[in-house]
Chain A
Amino acid sequence: MAHASTHDDHASDHHDHDAHDDHGHKPIGFMDRWVYTTNHKDIGTMYLLFSLLMFFIGGAMALVIRAELFQPGLQLVHPEFFNQMTTMHALVMIFGAVMPAFVGLANWLIPMMVGAPDMALPRMNNWSFWIMPFAFTLLLSTLFMDGGGPAGGWTLYPPLSIQGGNSVAFVIFAIHMMGISSIMGAINIIATILNMRAPGMDLLKMPIFVWTWLITAFLLIAVMPVLAGAVTMLLTDKFFGTSFFNALGGGDPVMFQHIFWFFGHPEVYIMILPAFGIVSEIIPTFARKPLFGYQAMVYATASIAFLSFIVWAHHMFTVGMPLGGELFFMYATMLIAIPTGVKVFNWVSTMWQGSMTFETPMLFAIAFVILFTIGGFSGLMLAIVPADFQYHDTYFVVAHFHYVLVTGAIFSLMAATYFWLPKWTGRMYNERLGKVHFWLSTISVNVLFFPQHFLGLAGMPRRIPDYNVMFAEFNMISSIGAFAFGLSQLMFVYIIWDCAYGRKREKATNQVWEGARGLEWTLASPPPYHSFETPPKIEPWMLAHSDVGH
């Protein structure tokens, strides 16, 4: 194998590196260290910081929305700007916050977890990160253009989306750039996992996080080009006189929705499968018990990924599909409940008869399981087509996807941050503040999103800047929750800063957590600049929580 010969020059065992971490490889100077870097940890850090910045930009937009919806009547913004905020909030959060954060985690963790020195394609890694700041500068700049930013919703449905001004072109190019970045990131992850594993790290011994990312990366490669195709057709429809989606020219606006959601539904799982992986690492650690049903977890992940390609039209039950189409997509969508159920049952079984402690990562992981499951329940309800006719495009849907994305994906990212931060920085974060952050976030996020179920069922459509006074009470409660949740996240930033630079933080051990298993915990905290210069000799106890027999 390629990596074996590369590392033959280094005779020393990796354990020797623990004593002299930096090994003199870390480049000096800002440009060399960060701009030209090919190091998986530095690129991972930049991805994570970038996504944190985007989380706050997207969050600020959400607060504009919730401030306007605090009471009936328009007090703060015009409806045009309100629509730009809903559109940009989604684009920034999905493409700027959640996806880059998972890529950042993949960068940091996958080489350490599979026993590799770095990612397989380090220069491409640099490029895939550095595209992102430019893509988002382009996207956000549209807010300052004549006519403002995109206002047709993140789903970009024509004909509305191409009613916008020239900003449409900027948005589409920004999406192209994000797509290129994601595809390169995905290629890199697949290449690393398939080629850079240390001897003995068989596929079915890999940590679940690595497995979920392997599957996610294939989803990315499959669907990002589809999105690129869809938005390119929008571009030519608007600027070059084509009629892909224009009924007057023989096109079909519904075709865009089919193509978009053929990307969009796998995209949903791109944002949740790595979260499953994270939670599957954390729960066994703090339950001090191996992950229940390791292989079932892998197969469930693969099944969800497969099903994600055949359920897209459940986002468009009201477009007037033939009855047969509605039935097919309803049945296929309901099937997803089965592998997802397996995952939830396995997490609960992992906790059963464990020996649990409740540090901040575990708290976030448990909240993830409960609140993501609530989002799953509303997802199951949404699959029932006749009922979906009532739920569709209401606040019930808004509540549903924020339960799976905020208390799902984002909570898993926070859990991951607390879980691996001591490994990354070599210092323990402030546990007491971490727990305060957890409780503030968990309570406020439910105040924020739970009442939105009621609003949707009572008949409040989504994406409206103003509403009937009967919806006032729950909107006000939701807005209060939003501001509390938003402000709580300032604590998150402080805790991270304090962990990295604060004076009083104690040094983390290599293993960090008593129940931690996996190769990354055999490295020093912080780990050496090049993770495993020689492939580690893998002992069974080092393996992550997989009971490899099953």
Chain B
Amino acid sequence: MNTKMTAAIAAIFSFASTSAWANPHRWQLNMTEGVTEVSRAVQTLHMQIFYICVVIGALVFGAMFYSMYKFRKSKGAVAATWSHSTVAEIIWTVVPIVILVVMCIPATRVLYQMYDTSKPEMTVAITGYQWLWEYEYQGENVKISSRLDREADQTRRLNSGRDPYAVKDYLLNVDNRLILPINTKIRFVITADDVIHAWWVPAFSIKQDAIPGFINEAWTRIDEVGVYRGQCAELCGKDHGFMPIVVEAVTKAEFQTRLAQMRAEQNPLDPQPVLAGAPALTASSFE
């Protein structure tokens, strides 16, 4: 109980503080700040509109509670008979318009930024399937198939008799992670093979529907090395709750090593790096 209390208090303070968690944590109250410029801008927008709502709420509910306290029949209040005030009505029509316009400006700016997928340094194609994700590094001949890890998959069965608390990152862990470099503008092209899915990583503030027959775009530039987790965010059938997303962000140098490793594993017929430069048939040439 004591640890829970501490966690709760920490969570309450985190609501106003700037520290960010990459993964959900117990008693979490607020949206993550994430690890990209865009996700921080989104978090700021979220807090701005939230505080505006709090102020309006305090005024409106304050007026309500004041009148409920002050103008009770049991306290001898006599009802007034007025039912109109042009000035008041103009004020509470115009002031919200001003607030909304003020709110629209940063929202529009951030949205422009989110939509600017131009000049990517690399592109990853994401395809949603019932119920796994497939990633392809475009032009690299490397594919990753990513599904719920075995331990969680066994634990999540009805009456499995296993304890979800004993599984690390229960339902938020996969067999093969998507490896991405930091400080790189990465474009995602997102589609699906069967039904609609949605690729969501809260730390990047990306949620984009994966729609069969159509290709959607999103982009990110990750600032920090780390492991970032998300889930499918569009109902896609019985195992919708069991197709997590895990992105491992690594340094550019490590990314090149990992990518080369994966390329070698997946294309054993490819010439090895020592032979690079010499003209050779690649595995894909035979396809």
What is the interface of chain A, defined by CB distance below 8 A to chain B? 72-80, 83, 151-153, 157, 159-160, 163, 247-248, 252-254, 287-294, 296, 318-320, 323, 326-327, 330-331, 334-335, 337-338, 341-342, 344-345, 348-358, 366, 369-370, 373-374, 377, 380-381, 384-387, 389-390, 392-394, 454, 457-461, 463-474, 545, 547, 549-550
Contact = CB atoms under 8 A, between A and B. Distances in A.
Contacts of A326: 111, 115
B64 interface: yes
Q: Is the interface of B mostly helix, strand, loop or mixed?
A: mixed
A354 B79 contact: yes
Given A331-B104, A348-B64, A386-B45, A466 B235 contact: no
Interface residues of B, number: 100
Contacts of B84: 292-293, 547, 549-550
Interface string B56-87: 11001101100110011110011111111100
B146 interface: no
A459 B26 CA distance: 12
A381 B211 contact: no
Contacts of A472: 26
Nearest to B230: A459
Contacts of A157: 196, 234-235
Given A77-B158, A385-B107, A385-B111, A293 B89 contact: yes
26 contacts: A72-B165, A73-B160, A79-B240, A83-B237, A253-B212, A287-B71, A288-B79, A292-B85, A323-B111, A330-B107, A341-B96, A352-B67, A353-B77, A356-B71, A357-B72, A358-B68, A377-B57, A385-B111, A386-B42, A457-B30, A458-B32, A459-B24, A459-B202, A461-B233, A469-B170, A473-B27
A353 B156 CA distance: 58
A354 B80 contact: yes
A350 B239 CA distance: 51
A34 to B, nearest CB: 40
A34 B88 CA distance: 50
A351 B64 contact: yes
B273 to A, nearest CB: 38
B73 A463 contact: no
Nearest to B200: A461
Contacts of B134: none
Contact of A377 (B45, B53, B81, B82): B53
A281 to B, nearest CB: 14
Given A373-B60, A470-B23, A454 B78 contact: no
B110 interface: yes
B269 interface: no
Contacts of A377: 53, 56-57
A358 B30 CA distance: 35
Interface in B204-249: 205-209, 211-214, 216-217, 230-242
B140 interface: no
Contacts of B92: 341-342, 345
A545 B79 CA distance: 13
A386 B111 contact: yes
The interface centre, meaning the residue of B41, B63, B96, B217 with most chain A CB atoms within 10 A of its CB, is B96
Contact of B79 (A287, A292, A320, A337): A287
Contacts of A76: 158
Contacts of B163: 73
A482 to B, nearest CB: 19
A231 B223 CA distance: 45
A349 B80 CA distance: 11
A381 B47 CA distance: 9
A306 to B, nearest CB: 16
B49 A387 contact: yes
Contact of B159 (A75, A454, A473, A474): A75
Nearest to A464: B241
A459 B1 CA distance: 24
Interface string B85-100: 1001100110011001
Contacts of A287: 71, 79
A279 to B, nearest CB: 13
Contacts of A337: 96, 100
